[in-house]
């Protein structure tokens, strides 16, 4: 599972959120993924979640979802930079894959700030059955 910033609609019913949490916990217990929540430092307000998927591969995927009111404050860069540092310190990998909607320029700046380069472009259908035009970045290990 890859979480894309602004790529899919928010859960409409609580059971969708519960399913995501339960699946994330299972994937972390299995050692497949690392999923974290993003909170404001001063208030502990929930801003979103982020993760690294396929931890044991040579090219794990990073992703993020932030609620709309948290966009534009640098939380995405801060979260992905922290996950990348964790990956650099704890994983044996070549690069992180970071897919992002081609039209989402602010989200594209996240991997670019971390040294990511475009590797490929493709289309994918999201949970809302919309076609996404994705740009896949590769962020190298330092």
Please compute, for residue 24, the number of CA atoms within 13 A of its CA located in the half-sphere on the CB side.
Answer: 16
Alpha helices (H) along the chain: 14-29, 75-90, 105-113
Query: Counting Cβ atoms within 10 Å, is residue 76 exposed (0-12), middle (13-18) or buried (19+)?
Result: buried
Question: In angstroms, how far is CA 104 from the centroid of its own chain?
Answer: 14
User: Tens digits of per-residue pLDDT, 30-71?
Assistant: 888 999 999 999 999 999 999 999 999 999 999 999 999 999
Q: What is the pTM of this model?
A: 0.83
User: Tens digits of per-residue pLDDT, 83-97?
Assistant: 999 999 999 999 999
- pLDDT on residue 24: 76
User: Tens digits of per-residue pLDDT, 2-17?
Assistant: 333 334 456 677 877 7
- pLDDT on residue 14: 80
Q: Is the pLDDT confidence value at 106 over 60?
A: yes
């Amino acid at each position: 599972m890859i979480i894309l910033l602004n790529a899919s609609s928010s859960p409409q019913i609580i059971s969708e959120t519960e399913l995501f949490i339960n699946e994330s916990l299972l994937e972390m217990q299995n050692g497949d993924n690392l999923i974290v929540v993003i909170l404001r430092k001063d208030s502990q307000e929930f801003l979103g979640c982020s993760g690294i998927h396929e931890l044991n591969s040579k090219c794990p995927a990073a992703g993020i979802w932030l609620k709309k009111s948290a966009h534009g404050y640098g939380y995405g860069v801060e979260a992905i930079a922290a996950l990348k540092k964790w990956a650099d310190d704890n994983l044996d990998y070549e690069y992180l894959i970071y897919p992002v909607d081609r039209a989402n320029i602010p989200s594209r700046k996240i991997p670019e700030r971390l040294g990511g380069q475009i590797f490929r472009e493709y289309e994918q259908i999201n949970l809302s059955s919309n076609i996404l035009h994705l740009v896949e970045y590769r962020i190298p290990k330092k």
